[in-house]
Chains A and B, each alone.
Chain A
Amino acid sequence: MNEPAFRPPRSLALPFDPLLLLATVGIMICSLAAIGASTESNAFVNRQAMFFAVGFVAMIAISRFDYTRTRELKYGLYGLSIVLIFATWAFGGVTRGSRRAIQLPFFEVQTSELVKVLLILVLSAVVVDRARDLGSRQTTARIMLLALIPAALVMLQPDLGGALVYVMTGVAVLFVAGVPWYRLAVLAGLGAAAIAFVLAVGPAVGVSVLQDYQLERLTSFLHPSDVQGDAGYQQNQSLIAVGAGQRTGRGELSSQTNLSFLPETHTDFIFAVVGERWGFVGAAFILTLYALLLWRGLRILTISKNLYGALIAGAIVAMILFQLFVNVGMNIGIMPITGLPLPLLSYGGSSVLTTLIALGLLQSIYAQGRAAAATKGRVLTM
């Protein structure tokens, strides 16, 4: 097989997706404003700005490289993921009962975040390898197994949200790759059975996969005001904060935020801060930015120069959409409390870095796709 003559364009001349960039920068600005509104000192704003700066540089850098090169590294990347998770287990500091981060001199690395993006690359690469055998049960099983191993490991940290994201990534990759519908249906069935076991059947027969507090958090959203514990309280205060924001927000009078009725204002419940301070208008504005970002992600999926890029783009869109829905849902009382951050909006270096790396990959897929189309046109067939 002859490789057609192909001169890669100079990397600095590669284009950016301007709308994706606009959405990214827009959400980052909103994040700084929301964190500024939710905390008294400027420390968190400053640190988040620093994370953004580092992450933004990383994003630009990654977008200049051809993501396709990472395909060869898939086993190394998978190995790195597992090592990172184990390293956290070994060297991680304990915060609020969970061991999720490795303490570095300047900030702590929440490894389960970085693994999110690593896993996307690995799973996409494996699917590409098995592209001819997509319909087989073995492909589906292998992908899910590859996703479930790190998921099970981070569950022990415990990081339930991270584990769910891994599983979702696997499903998303299979979905975009074109795995037959009935396989996906079986997966959905198995997932539903697993949830039923963890939440209802398991506790009833004495097998507890989740800690009590996790179970309480997961179920309290169904009846927040009845729950005496922390979770019900948090959910309730979040609802009050969002609701009290009404159409245009309470501005400086945001008492739920300012008087600390709302917990974890700069991380898990940042959306409620936006809801209270800027009201429906503010929340809708931020959601619109996310919608723009996700739309560009899907668009990039379709212009990818290869399957690998399409799968990565699909998985990234799925990851961001999933975290967005779970986090915002938790803020507005329709999803359980899982501790997933809102990508780019929540304070947190690891999450910001991971998201910006993912967005850098999207930009790279866009740039490569555009470059390939420009040099060869979209005529080449297999």
Chain B
Amino acid sequence: MVDPVADRRPPITPQLALRVAVFGGIALVLFAVIFFRLWYLQVLSGDQYLAEANDNRVRELRIQAPRGEIVDRNGRVLVTNRRAIVVQLDPAKLPEAERDLAATWGQRAGQRAARPKGRRGEEVPIPPIPDPVLEARYERLAEVLGTSANAIHRTVIRQLAQVPYADVRVKTDVPRSMLNYISERKAQFPGVRVEQVYLRQYPRDQIAAQLLGTVGEISPAQLRKKRYRDVTQGTIIGQDGLEYEYDNYLRGKDGLRRVQVDALGRPKGNLREVDPTAGREVKLSLDVRLQKTAQDALGEVGGGKPGAAVALDPRNGEVLAMASYPSFDPAVFTKPLTQAQYDKLVSDENGAPIFNRAIGSAYPTASTFKIVTAMAALETGTRSADEVINDGGVFKLGEQEFKNAGDAVNGAIDLRKAMEVSSDVYFYQLGAKLNNLRGQVLQTWARKLGIGRRTGIDLPGEFRGLVPDKEWRRDLAQEERSCRRKKKISQTANVYVAAAAGCGISDMRPWSAGDNVNLSVGQGDLQATPLQLATAYTTLANGGRRLKPHLGLEINDSQGRAIQRIESEGTTKVDFDPANRQAIMDGLKLAASGPSGTSTDVFKGWPHDRYPVYGKTGTAERQPKADQSWYAAYVPDERKPIVVVATVEEGGFGADTAAPIARQMLSQWFFGEAGEVVRGESRSR
């Protein structure tokens, strides 16, 4: 039984009242704390938390805009797009250890590549996966993709070393089912994105490969440039070639899809969608058939030696063909490049296929340069076109002897005949005489016609070339002297001794008349690109308008309707007497069709009455290499005049390789077929 005394108590004692009051006080304080906190969270910082909540639920997905197509002047497609499903890894979701590994490996691999070939040593090995958690992640992905964790790791390291900011492309062209599989298991594949992207496609394989260029994700450095101020991160932009030059038009505008996602990142409906805007189509002045002929001919006639060919419309500077041999399949750049592929593209042994020789390589152009010497002589009145001189086979300048090629003796010749037979002595004399005039007129005329200066073509990476002159030689000697001072080499030492010690840029001799004599026949230190030579012939052919060659012709909408014509600008008037031009043209015509023309036999059977060829061979000495073959030609026509330049490194005599290539190109241009290879016998330079 309950003890009644203990069970009874007065209604409320003062002590209990105090305790209850304290109890109530504690409760009040706790409620106050909760209320203040709620006020702070919901009323004072509510906006911030609402923003965070929206950040949580909204994902912005880029919808890639297809880049514009690149087509030739007849609308034949050179570059188009294809859809591909790719598996990519977000570098931000990779552990720091992996990214650091990529950076250090990239550095070491870069140092190795900087050492000269043969002394590079072992390839830098890729260290193992630094983190067991990452290894498990790679393994899960590898199982789905049918590869190995290590293979993924190597891909990641290689790509991150090259472009640390962009998504790592683990695999290209996976089946659509993979997209669904991985999207539904996002939690198992952190940082893995399976997306449909547009990849560039090249239906004509190697055609114009060096011109088209590559595309790639915009880099942080590029993002800061004014040129890309309305481009957002992650956009694919043109990185080289025409893709770079006309990126503005080709790029289009990526669309945006705002998706609501749940806590596991599963999409729960679209919030807003901005459609992508496809890029514009760029129509080139290139003629695909002529381009193909040029590339095929370079390979076939040139016998595997590197070379280049250019064809211009002399009326407006439109580039009808621009070929560089060897070529490559530009599609290699749409997938991650392996080291072997990269080496193959850039190595000298392989002819560096990625290199556009038509604008990036400069050589002495040999006798094709004689139009410049002739023009300079005629314009300065140094010698009239009709003046006859005796070509005894040798030109003496003090102690020095300059001979005709093959020791030929041409006898009494005027300008036209000198051009026809490609007499060197005739031009040696002019070179020596012109050197005595004030102002280095030979060099001036070379530049006036377009040699030794950038043509301004709409392609990146054009080489300036060089027309050697007094100033250049002086600067070179100066450079050599300071180099020797720096490296403590005697200023009087032999140039070969200096070269062995790291200098030897120049033998430090001053400009001499001999230099000018060499230049007069396009030898010596002259460096001109094939395109520059074509420009010079164009300037002569069109009567004195030095044009800016260009590849871009029109901007079309994605359906191919023209919206804008790319105007060629920057034409420079070059003044010369039409009679002088005519004399030179006569000489060029004789050289291609005269009885003793250097390329007459190459054009055997050519209908000179309908399409007269004005062409000049050239054979450049490039010791210790074999001679380089050149040919430059102009064929006037009411509808489709053309200037063609072809060259083959170590191709021998001009008539032997370059001229047959030019003939095939002209044949293609006028008759729609390249025709047979006709090699000439001329052994003149």
A310 contact from B5, B16, B37, B261, Cβ within 8 A: B16
**Residues of chain A with a CB closer than 8 A to B49's CB:** 239-240, 242-244
A246 touches B50 (CB 8 A): yes
B48 contact from A175, A243, A321, A328, Cβ within 8 A: A243
Chain A interface mostly: helix
- Asked if A82 is at the interface (CB within 8 A of a chain B CB), the reply is no
B42 touches A247 (CB 8 A): yes
Closest to B56 in A: A261
B9 contact from A256, A307, A321, Cβ within 8 A: A307
- B17-25, B208-216, B423-431 - the one binding chain A: B17-25
CB of B25 to closest CB in A, whole Å: 11
B54 touches A255 (CB 8 A): yes
**Residues of chain A with a CB closer than 8 A to B39's CB:** 280
Q: Chain B, 36-56, contact with A by CB distance < 8 Å: what is the 0/1 string?
A: 011101110111111011101
B7 contact from A128, A276, A287, A294, Cβ within 8 A: A128
Distance of A243 Cα from B49 Cα, bound (Å): 5
Distance of A3 Cα from B3 Cα, bound (Å): 11
A176 touches B23 (CB 8 A): yes
A178 touches B263 (CB 8 A): no
- Asked if A260 is at the interface (CB within 8 A of a chain B CB), the reply is yes
Chain B interface mostly: helix
**Residues of chain A with a CB closer than 8 A to B38's CB:** 242, 275, 280, 283-284, 332
Q: Chain B, 297-321, contact with A by CB distance < 8 Å: what is the 0/1 string?
A: 0000000000000000000000000
- Asked if B4 is at the interface (CB within 8 A of a chain A CB), the reply is yes
- Asked if A139 is at the interface (CB within 8 A of a chain B CB), the reply is no
- Asked if A334 is at the interface (CB within 8 A of a chain B CB), the reply is yes
Interface size (A, Cβ < 8 Å)?
A: 60
**Residues of chain B with a CB closer than 8 A to A65's CB:** none
- Asked if B57 is at the interface (CB within 8 A of a chain A CB), the reply is yes
**Residues of chain B with a CB closer than 8 A to A321's CB:** 26-27, 30
> A275-B38, A332-B41, A381-B10 given as contacts; is B53 within 8 A of A246 (CB)?
no
CB of A141 to closest CB in B, whole Å: 20
Closest to B45 in A: A243
**Residues of chain B with a CB closer than 8 A to A332's CB:** 34, 37-38, 41
A242 contact from B7, B30, B42, B260, Cβ within 8 A: B42
- Asked if B31 is at the interface (CB within 8 A of a chain A CB), the reply is yes
Closest to A279 in B: B42
**Residues of chain B with a CB closer than 8 A to A325's CB:** 30, 33-34
CB of A290 to closest CB in B, whole Å: 8
**Residues of chain B with a CB closer than 8 A to A294's CB:** 27
Interface residues of A in 244-262 (CB under 8 A from B): 244-247, 250, 255-256, 259-261
B7 touches A307 (CB 8 A): yes
Distance of A314 Cα from B47 Cα, bound (Å): 41
- Asked if A196 is at the interface (CB within 8 A of a chain B CB), the reply is no
A175 touches B19 (CB 8 A): yes
- Asked if A301 is at the interface (CB within 8 A of a chain B CB), the reply is yes
Distance of A336 Cα from B420 Cα, bound (Å): 99
- Asked if A241 is at the interface (CB within 8 A of a chain B CB), the reply is yes
CB of B145 to closest CB in A, whole Å: 28
A302 touches B20 (CB 8 A): yes
**Residues of chain A with a CB closer than 8 A to B12's CB:** 302
A1 touches B52 (CB 8 A): no
B263 contact from A176, A261, A308, A317, Cβ within 8 A: A261
CB of A68 to closest CB in B, whole Å: 7
Q: Chain A, 289-307, contact with B by CB distance < 8 Å: what is the 0/1 string?
A: 0010011001001100011
**Residues of chain A with a CB closer than 8 A to B31's CB:** 287, 291
Closest to B7 in A: A306
B53 touches A378 (CB 8 A): no
**Residues of chain B with a CB closer than 8 A to A176's CB:** 16, 19-20, 23
**Residues of chain B with a CB closer than 8 A to A47's CB:** none
Distance of A295 Cα from B23 Cα, bound (Å): 10
- Asked if A380 is at the interface (CB within 8 A of a chain B CB), the reply is yes
B4 contact from A3, A243, A245, A381, Cβ within 8 A: A3
Distance of A181 Cα from B474 Cα, bound (Å): 103
Residues of A within 8 A of B (CB): 1, 3, 68, 71-72, 128-129, 131-132, 175-176, 178, 237, 239-247, 250, 255-256, 259-261, 275-276, 279-280, 283-284, 287, 291, 294-295, 298, 301-302, 306-308, 310, 314, 317-318, 321, 324-325, 328-329, 332-334, 378, 380-382
Residues of B within 8 A of A (CB): 2, 4-13, 15-17, 19-20, 23-24, 26-27, 30-31, 33-35, 37-39, 41-43, 45-50, 52-54, 56-57, 260-264, 268
A-B contacts, 16 of them at CB < 8 A, read: A128-B6, A240-B53, A242-B38, A243-B42, A246-B47, A261-B263, A275-B42, A280-B38, A287-B31, A291-B27, A294-B27, A298-B24, A306-B7, A306-B8, A317-B27, A329-B33
